Amino acid sequence: MLRRIIVASNNPDKFREIQEKFSALPLILQSLADFPFVPKVVEDQPDLPGNARKKAVEVWRAAGLWTLADDTGLEVVALGGAPGVFSARYSGPGATYESNCLKLLEEMHHVPEGERQAAFRTVICLRTDEREYCVEGTLQGTIGRNPRGENGFGYDPIFVLSDGRTLAELSLEEKNRISHRGRALVKTEMLLRGLLEVSPFP
């Protein structure tokens, strides 16, 4: 019997990406859709590690299985790290990816070139029956002046990489190879590889 691990997310794209990254590992991943009795976790912590940890711990407690949870934010240097943990709802109630990008472009309107550095940060926490582990991945870039590119989601069209392209101008495969989430997932895969050698079964 293989170890079952819950991915504490309702986002099917995220689930698929994680499944693909961990396909060589001896485990079975399950999404929250398989656990309708698990209460929704309120993401009310002041930072990304706090939210990721809270989701992992609460779902593990309710379902009794090892749980992986993540939280991601965009941290802009000129804005003191904002929107950070508020990235999803930066432009207020009813925020969309587009309204969030527009608000950020407005806030950054007067910030000169050379002071527009930003980073995406993903924190992934794994709660096992013994303890919790957290890893993180980051991607450095700058905030552009106009949205560009058709791919990706969220702030991708205004996040400019060192080669001048926005994240939304990369294919999904290219993005996953270099992204904050991709890097955090590589670290999580190494962590799981070690843990599963010691305790392979549910």
Quick check: 175 and 151 in contact, CB under 8 A? yes
Binding to ligand IMP by residue 91, rule CB under 6 A? no
Quote the DSSP letter at residue 127: E
- Which of 49, 149, 154, 202 forms a contact with ligand IMP (CB under 6 A)? 154
By beta-carbon proximity to ligand IMP, the closer residue of 53 and 181 is 181
Q: What angle do CA 195, 200, 202 make, to 5 degrees?
A: 110
The residues in 56-75 that bind ligand IMP, with binding defined as CB under 6 A, are 71-73
What is the per-residue DSSP string for 101-113? HHHHHHHTTTPPT
How many whole angstroms separate alpha carbon 37 and alpha carbon 42? 15
Per the structure block, which two tokens stand in for 74? 């965009």
Per annotation, catalytic residue among 44, 71, 129, 163 = 71
Quick note: the x/- pattern for ligand IMP over 98-137, rule CB under 6 A, is --x-------------------x-----------------
Our CB check for ligand IMP shows the closer of 63 and 124 to be 124
In sequence order, which ranges of 25-153 are alpha helices (DSSP H)?
Answer: 48-63, 97-107
Residue 193: left (phi > 0), alpha (psi -120 to 50), or beta?
Answer: alpha
Residue 157 binds to ligand IMP (criterion: CB under 6 A): no
Contact string (CB under 6 A) for ligand IMP, positions 5-44, x = contact: ----------------------------------------
Residues that bind ligand IMP (CB under 6 A): 71-73, 87-88, 97, 100, 120, 152-156, 167, 179, 181
The set of catalytic residues is 71
